[in-house]
Amino acid sequence: MVEITATYQGELRVTATHGPSGDSLNTDAPVDNCGKGEAFSPTDLVATALGTCLLTILGIQANKHGLNVGAASVRVEKHMATEGTRRIAKLPVELTVLGEVPEELREPILASLHTCPVHASLHPSIDAPIAVKWA
């Protein structure tokens, strides 16, 4: 169990604190939802969690197989629904793997990416394809 606490700072800003480390971050409502857009929005954090989780899994797989994936990176696009309840509609992901990954390890690594707990926690109505660009 990990505890996250958050405090409303006013003007649609919130400071969240990670219990185990004491690290904190701020959120702000996006411009299209009455905010200033001066920090990650709560839904931006969902996209961020997805991308960072995938990079973490890639790192775990690289360590397991003795690979150097270089400065691998991820790009997540967050698309909000345009009708109905305000929600995330799409989170397409493009993971770029630098460094050499043997062909025979690509499919197992791709399969491991699909075990991402953030990806698995997304509502099934959210379209979140994962594409990988290998070096």
Indicate if the pLDDT at residue 11 is higher than 90.
yes
Closest by CA to 50, choosing from 21, 91, 1, is 91
* Total domains in the fold of the chain: 2
Q: Where are the alpha helices (DSSP H) in 1-135?
A: 42-65, 103-113, 117-121
Q: Are residues 78 and 27 in the same domain?
A: no
Q: Look up the pTM and report it.
A: 0.94
Average pLDDT over residues 1-17: 97
Q: Are residues 13 and 48 in the same domain?
A: no
Mean of per-residue pLDDT scores for the chain: 96
Average pLDDT over residues 33-54: 97
**What per-residue confidence (pLDDT) applies to 3?**
98
Q: Are residues 106 and 60 in the same domain?
A: yes
Percent of the chain with pLDDT over 90: 97
The per-residue b/e assignment along 62-96, b for 16 or more CB within 10 angstroms, e otherwise, is beeeebebeebebebebeeeeeeeeebeebebebb
pLDDT band at 124 (very low <50, low <70, confident <90, very high): very high
Indicate if the pLDDT at residue 73 is higher than 90.
yes
Q: Are residues 14 and 45 in the same domain?
A: no
Q: Are residues 54 and 101 in the same domain?
A: yes
**What per-residue confidence (pLDDT) applies to 70?**
84
Q: Are residues 35 and 47 in the same domain?
A: no
Containing structural domain, residue 108: 41-134
**What per-residue confidence (pLDDT) applies to 135?**
85
